[in-house]
Amino acid sequence: MKRLRTAVIGAGYMGRFHADKFAAIDSAELVAVVDSDASRATETDYKPWLGKIDAACVAVPTKFHFQVVKDCLEAGVHVLVEKPMATTLAEADALLALARARGLVLQVGHLQRFNPAFQALAAQEGKPLFIDIERLAPFKARGTDVDVVLDLMIHDLDLVLALARAPVEQVSASGFRVLTDAIDIANARIEFADGCIASVSASRVSQVPVRKLRVFRHDAYVSANLQEQRLRHVRKGGDGIVESEQAFERADELRAQAEAFLQAVRGRAAPLVTGEQGRDALALALQVGRLVEERLARHEA
C-alpha cells in the first residue's frame, strides 16, 4: 500500500509532537516539517510542497489557520488542523465549503475524542441530565494568542456537544482577565433543547492542573479521569448504591488521532472529528467568549 506523503506545517510545541507521531506511522511518509523558524524545521515555506504531498497537519498559530488550510485544500491536500479550526465562523464555513467541493478530508484536532475513557463514556446509553467539566492549568505564555475559551475551554465544549447530542438552546457565561489582556478564567452554563445542562469551567492561571468530567444520568453518574484514562461508576442498585471502576489500556491519543486521519484520507471517509464538528465547537466557543466580554464591558465601564 502506498504510503501517504505527509507534511507537518508549524513546528512549535504541538507541531513537534505531531511530527514525531507521523514519522512513526508506517502508512505515512513524513516528507517535510515546515516552520518559519529554520532551527526547528526542515523547510521554512510550505507552498512548494503543496503539489507533492497527500496530507498535511497544520499546527501554526491560530491566526494563520485559515490561510494555510485554504492553501492546502485548494492544492488538493487533505488536512488535519489543530483546534480552533479558524478564528471566525466565516473562515470555518469557507474551509468546509472548499473541502466539500474538492472531496477532501478536513479533520479538527480535538484530541480528547481519542481518549478510550471518553469514548467509552460517550458510548453509554441514557440521556445525560447534567455534565460538569473543569479544566484548570498553570499559566504558560504558549497559547496566549487566543483567550482561555479558544485555548482550553474549546476542548471541553467539543466534549459536551459530543455527549449531549442535542441542539443548544441557551448559553450564559462569565469570566475575568487576570494575567493577560484577554479572558484567563471562564465559566459557561449551556442548556440543551432536551433539558440537559452543562457547566464548563476553564482557567489558565491555576497553581496546579485539574481535569474533572462528570456525567449524571437517571439513577447513575460517571466520573471520568481522562488523564489516567479511567471511569468511576456510581449506580442506584436494588440494595443501595453500587460503585465500580473501569480502567483502560493506556492509549496514545495523539498517535490515534494521526492514524485515524490517515485512515480517513485513504477511505475518503468522515473522520472521528469532522470539520463540521470543529465548526460547532468554534461557534459555541465564540458565543461564550462574546458573552464574557459583554459582561466584562458592563462591569468594567
Q: Which of 71, 86, 104 is the last residue of a domain?
A: 104
In a domain, 203, yes or no: yes
In a domain, 275, yes or no: no
In a domain, 267, yes or no: no
Say whether both 148 and 46 belong to one domain: no
Say whether both 159 and 293 belong to one domain: yes
Cβ contact 204:175 at 8 Å:
no
d(CA 167, CA 192): 6
Q: Which residues of the chain have pLDDT under 50?
A: none
Say whether both 239 and 117 belong to one domain: yes
Say whether both 58 and 172 belong to one domain: no
User: Around Cβ 170, how many Cβ atoms within 10 Å?
Assistant: 10
pTM of structure? 0.94
In a domain, 265, yes or no: no
How many domains would you assign to the chain?
2
For the domain that residue 90 is a member of, what is the CATH number? Answer: 3.40.50.720
Say whether both 90 and 174 belong to one domain: no
Q: Which of 129, 190, 197 lies closest to 154, judged by CA?
A: 190
Say whether both 61 and 201 belong to one domain: no
Question: What's residue 227's pLDDT?
Answer: 87
Say whether both 86 and 21 belong to one domain: yes
Beta strand 55-58 pairing with 4-9? parallel
Question: What's residue 279's pLDDT?
Answer: 98
In a domain, 279, yes or no: no
Say whether both 56 and 83 belong to one domain: yes
In a domain, 261, yes or no: no
In a domain, 276, yes or no: no
In a domain, 274, yes or no: no
Q: Which of 73, 104, 135 is the last residue of a domain?
A: 104
Question: What's residue 299's pLDDT?
Answer: 86
Question: What's residue 18's pLDDT?
Answer: 98
Query: How many CA atoms does the CB half-sphere of 38 hold within 13 Å?
Result: 1
Cβ contact 126:217 at 8 Å:
yes
Q: Which of 64, 83, 104 is the last residue of a domain?
A: 104
Say whether both 88 and 187 belong to one domain: no
For the domain that residue 196 is a member of, what is the CATH number? Answer: 3.30.360.10
Q: Could you list the residue range(s) of the whole structural domain that residue 38 is in?
A: 4-104
Say whether both 64 and 98 belong to one domain: yes
Say whether both 164 and 82 belong to one domain: no
Percent of all residues in the chain with a pLDDT value above 90, rounded to a whole number: 88
Question: What's residue 143's pLDDT?
Answer: 58
Say whether both 95 and 204 belong to one domain: no
